[in-house]
């Protein structure tokens, strides 16, 4: 009986750990769902790239990843990453995925342009 209870406890820990919430402290609580859009992601990417900041954004609901970034492309492996609010219990986490994907696509275009010149 103790083995079943211990196994159940371990399984529950894995389930809850995989669905944890992450909210960076730097993000304001005044951010609304209407401001978490792909257009805003593209806009912020342009601002960051013009200021010399090259990074990918990570987001997700049941797992964290860099949306839109190819997994096995050597050009992107050493680019720093910044994590956005994520996790299945984080409000609007799905919106952050769209924001991150649009942002990352702009960064990818810039990196490809640099490599081709």
Residue 82 tokens read as 């910044």
Q: Which residue has the higher pLDDT, 31 or 27?
A: 31
CA 7/CA 108 separation, integer angstroms: 44
- The confidence band for 36, taking pLDDT boundaries of 50, 70 and 90, is very high
Q: What is the pTM of this model?
A: 0.75
- The confidence band for 8, taking pLDDT boundaries of 50, 70 and 90, is low
**Which three-class secondary structure state does DSSP give residue 90?**
coil
Q: Which residue has the higher pLDDT, 68 or 13?
A: 68
Give residue for tokens 């909210």.
23
Residue 73 tokens read as 């492309």
CA 21/CA 96 separation, integer angstroms: 13
- The confidence band for 115, taking pLDDT boundaries of 50, 70 and 90, is confident
Q: Which helix (H) or strand (E) holds 44?
A: helix 38-50
Please, what is the average pLDDT of the chain?
82
């Amino acid at each position: 009986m103790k083995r079943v209870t211990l196994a159940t406890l371990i399984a529950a820990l894995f389930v809850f750990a995989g669905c944890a919430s992450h909210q960076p402290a730097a993000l304001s609580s005044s951010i609304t769902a209407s401001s978490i859009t792909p257009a805003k992601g593209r806009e912020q990417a342009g601002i960051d790239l013009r200021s010399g900041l090259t990074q990918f954004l990570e987001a997700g609901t049941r797992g964290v990843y860099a949306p839109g970034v190819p997994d096995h492309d050597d050009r992107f492996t050493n680019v720093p990453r910044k994590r956005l609010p994520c996790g299945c219990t984080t409000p609007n986490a799905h919106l952050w995925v769209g924001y991150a994907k649009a942002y990352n696509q702009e960064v990818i275009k810039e990196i490809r342009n640099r490599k081709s010149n």
